[in-house]
Amino acid sequence: MSKHIAKSSRARNEYFQGKHRYEHWYVDNQIYFITARCREQFPAFASEEAKAVFWDRFELYTQATGFEPIVTSLVDNHYHTLGYLEIGLNLKTLMQRLHGSVAKMVNDLLPARWPAFFRDKKGKEYFDGCIRDELQFRRAYRYTLTQSRRHGICDDYLLYKHTRVGMEIEEAVRFAKERKALLEGVPYKRYMRDR
C-alpha cells in the first residue's frame, strides 16, 4: 500500500553539497515518533511546575489535532512521544502550537528567558519520523518507555510520573496493524543499518 507523503523543509533545495536536507513528512494514517530537546540541553523542565506546563499543553494540543499518544516521556531537557495521527498535515499545527506555548509559558517560569527554546545549531526544532514496521515500532516504544532509566532517574518507568503510557505495547502493535498505520516499503537508511 502506498501513501502520499507531503514534505516541508526550511530550504527549497532537497540536497545541499550532495547531502539530503532534513525535512518533515506529513503522512495520513501514520504512527509517528517525535522528539525535541531544549537548546544546548538546557534543563528547562527541571521543575515540576515546568513539567506541568508541558503536560497541560501536550494534552490540549494532541486532543485538538487528533494526535493519539501511545507512549510519551519527559525528562529535564527533552521529550519523546510515539503516537498515531490520522491527518498528517496536523503534525505541523501540533508542533507549532505545542512548542510555541510551552516555550512561552516555561520561559515565564525561568529566572531568565531561554531564546530559541527548542532550536538546535542547525535550526531544527524537533525530529519526527514515520514508523516503518513492527520492529521499528517496538524499538521506538521501548526507547521512549525507558527514558527514566536511561537518564538515571529511576529503574522502573512505573515509578516515574513523567512517562505516560496510552497503550501497552501489544495493544499498540495491533492498533497500528489494524489501521495499516506503518509506512512499510519506504527505506530508512539509519534504521536499515541497525538490523
pLDDT of residue 16: 44
pLDDT of residue 2: 55
Does 13 score more than 90 pLDDT? no
Does 195 score more than 50 pLDDT? no
Q: Which of 90, 118, 121 is nearest to 104 (CA)?
A: 118
Instruction: Calculate mean pLDDT across residues 59-79.
Output: 98
Residues 133-148 have pLDDT tens digits of 999 999 999 999 999 9
**CA 5 to CA 26: how far, in whole Å?**
6
Residues 17-38 have pLDDT tens digits of 455 455 778 999 999 999 999 9
pLDDT of residue 4: 67
What's the whole-model pTM score? 0.86
pLDDT of residue 48: 98
Does 14 score more than 90 pLDDT? no
pLDDT of residue 46: 97
